[in-house]
Amino acid sequence: MPQQTNAQAESRTHLTACHDCDLLFHIPHLKKGEQAHCPRCGALVMERKGHSLDYSLALALTSLILFVMANVNVLLRMNVGGRTQAENIISGVNELYVQGYWEIAILVLIVSIVAPLLKLLCIFYVLVPLRLNFRLPYAKEVFGFYEVLNPWSMTEVYMLGILVALVKLADLATINVGIALYSFAALIPFMAATDASLDDHDIWESLEPTD
Amino acid sequence: MKTPSNTAAHKGYLLCHTCHLLSQAGIGVHSSHCSRCGTRLHSRKPNSLSRTWALTLTAYILYIPANLLPIMTVTMSGKGEPDTIFSGVKELVTGGMWPLALLIFFASITVPVLKLLTLTYLLLSVHFKSSWRPKERTTLYRITETVGRWSMIDIFVIAILVALVKLGSLATIEAGAGAVAFGGVVVITMFAAMSFDPRLIWDALENNHE
């Protein structure tokens, strides 16, 4: 009898290894919203998010719209003695490049524009076909690339940089805040919610060939 | 810690770092390909220690010009004033902007220094096969990996200021070589943290049991 219950329990669990300490252990079948932590080192090993693809796609689409608005509009405008100077993210990159600091220009371009944009595009490339039941080539590679890009997308750090620049200049000149700043501020929570809504274990299982 | 040798490496399993699939590779097999996503599988990140050492030492060296050279120069009415990371913080303090000074001090000075020291400590602890508090050391590693990105604040502030303060003879701001070195420190320590394999912390523990 005990063996039978053990076997029954086994069938509802699966073996996994902790990515941080390499311990092998069985994860029980997780219900929506449940998390599994490594019993030895405490690492978060699995989480069943249970959000629908529509939910993630809606958040990603909102993020994309806000991202475009944050990049095509004016971020900050400064008035000193009748002269006005406006800037946005790309003009900062351009000015660094013009001054000869192409290394930081490229770094800022990647972490504040390229990585966040590519991240969102990767999400669409992977989730839209899953939602509409068709297949696109290299979906697994694209989703793997999304996970590689993640640490390099620094929109929230950039937002803090804007605030620091604002405070620093407040004494010297009149600063007007542009539409891009509001869009950018709104982008941060939407981007975070998009990432948090994705269940990577679930997506990898869905991307597995079913034949 | 009931069964110390109950690890994937001991039992011949390889975990895919990209898609989390656990593959049975056979005991003694240390590399293979993931059957689900095709990623190359390794029992441990290849050359983790030497890579992390090389990147950490590079970051230490770059940290010197990052702090000695000006990160930007503010020119007002023809008078140029170069700012290093530290003098920038000092200026904020004298200007009475305490919260901002603390924020920049934390992001630009505390985080990079602690990150380098933590990586060095973790590397040494693995090197000397320390079995002291592996769980806490793993947590330390996780914090190091996530907090590093916040050091970029200063770089972003420079990128914003150079484009905004372009008022000809009235005031201009130019970036400095220190910013390049500092950006290098941030990027290289991020790569260093990524190349470190926290499972090495736990390997030392198992070898001590045998």
Same domain, B113 and B191: yes
Q: Say how many domains are in chain B.
A: 2
Same domain, B200 and B100: yes
Same domain, B2 and B64: no
Same domain, B22 and B56: no
Q: Is the pLDDT of residue B40 over 60?
A: yes
Q: What is the pLDDT of residue B37?
A: 85
| Crossing angle between the packed helical segments A115-132 and A200-207, to the nearest 10 degrees | 60
Same domain, B183 and B196: yes
Widest pairwise Cα distance in chain A: 88
Q: What is the mean pLDDT of residues A96-124?
A: 96
Q: In chain A, pLDDT over 90 holds for what percent of residues?
A: 70
Chain A residues touching residue B201 (CB < 8 angstroms):
21
Residue B56, by phi and psi: left (phi above 0), alpha (psi -120 to 50) or beta? alpha
Tell whether A196 is within 8 A of chain B (Cβ): no
Q: Is the pLDDT of residue B196 over 60?
A: yes
Compare all CA atoms of chain A with the CA of B103 and give the residue at the minimum distance.
A164
Task: Report pLDDT digits (tens) over B82-111.
Answer: 999 999 999 889 988 899 999 999 999 999
Interface of A with B in 176-195 (CB under 8 A): none
Residue of A76, A102, A164 for testing the chain B interface, max B β-carbons within 10 Å: A164
Q: To 5 degrees, how large is the angle CA B137–CA B138–CA B144? A: 90
Same domain, B8 and B69: no
Q: Is the pLDDT of residue B206 over 80?
A: no
Whole-complex ipTM: 0.91
Widest pairwise Cα distance in chain B: 73
Q: Is the pLDDT of residue B194 over 50?
A: yes
Phi, psi of A162 (to 5 degrees): -60, -45
Q: Is the pLDDT of residue A147 over 80?
A: yes
Q: What is the pLDDT of residue B77?
A: 80
Same domain, B199 and B106: yes
Smallest Cβ distance to B7: which of A22, A43, A165? A22
Instruction: Please give the mean pLDDT across all residues of chain A.
Output: 90
pTM: 0.91
Q: Is the pLDDT of residue B191 over 70?
A: yes
Contact A41/B138, CB-based, under 8 Å?
yes
Q: How far is B209 from chain A (nearest CA, A)?
A: 15
Contact A104/B161, CB-based, under 8 Å?
no
Chain B residues touching residue A23 (CB < 8 angstroms):
6-8, 202
Chain A residues touching residue B150 (CB < 8 angstroms):
157, 160
Q: What is the mean pLDDT of residues A116-121?
A: 97
Q: What is the pLDDT of residue B79?
A: 84
Contact A140/B38, CB-based, under 8 Å?
yes
Contact B159/A25, CB-based, under 8 Å?
no
- B164 is in which domain, residue-wise? 47-209
Beta-ladder partners of A25? A16
Q: For chains A and B, what is the number of CB pairs under 8 angstroms?
A: 184
Q: What is the pLDDT of residue A1?
A: 41
Residue with tokens 């620091």: A164
Residue B146 burial by CB count (10 A; 0-12/13-18/19+): exposed, middle or buried? exposed
Task: Report pLDDT digits (tens) over A185-209.
Answer: 999 999 999 999 999 888 998 887 6
Same domain, B8 and B96: no
Same domain, B24 and B81: no
User: Looking at this protein, which amino acid is placed at residue B148?
Assistant: G
Q: What is the pLDDT of residue A96?
A: 96
Q: How far is A155 from chain B (nearest CA, A)?
A: 10
Same domain, B9 and B53: no
Q: What is the pLDDT of residue A10?
A: 53
Task: Return the half-sphere exposure (C-beta side, CA atoms, 13 A cut-off) of residue B77.
Answer: 0
Interface of A with B in 2-21 (CB under 8 A): 15-17, 19-21
Chain A residues touching residue B166 (CB < 8 angstroms):
85, 95
Same domain, B82 and B94: yes
Residues whose CB falls within 8 Å of the CB of residue B121, separated by 6 or more in sequence, listed in order:
B140
Q: Is the pLDDT of residue B1 over 50?
A: no
Q: How far is A5 from chain B (nearest CA, A)?
A: 23
Tell whether A154 is within 8 A of chain B (Cβ): yes
Q: Is the pLDDT of residue A160 over 70?
A: yes
Least confident of A81-90, A102-111, B65-74: A81-90
Q: What is the pLDDT of residue B207?
A: 61
Distance CA B72, CA B179 (A): 7
Q: In 3D, which of B148, B191, B177, B189 has the Cα closest to residue B60?
A: B189
Q: What is the mean pLDDT of residues B130-145?
A: 92
Q: What is the mean pLDDT of residues A128-157?
A: 93
Compare all CA atoms of chain A with the CA of B151 and give the residue at the minimum distance.
A157
Q: How confident is the model at residue A165 (pLDDT cuts 50, 70, 90)?
A: very high
Same domain, B4 and B95: no
Contact A201/B20, CB-based, under 8 Å?
yes
Collapsing DSSP states into helix, strand and coil, what is residue B103? helix
Smallest Cβ distance to B138: which of A20, A111, A171? A20
Contact A154/B152, CB-based, under 8 Å?
yes
Distance CA A30, CA A136 (A): 29
Chain A residues touching residue B159 (CB < 8 angstroms):
89, 92-93, 95-96, 104, 108, 112, 161
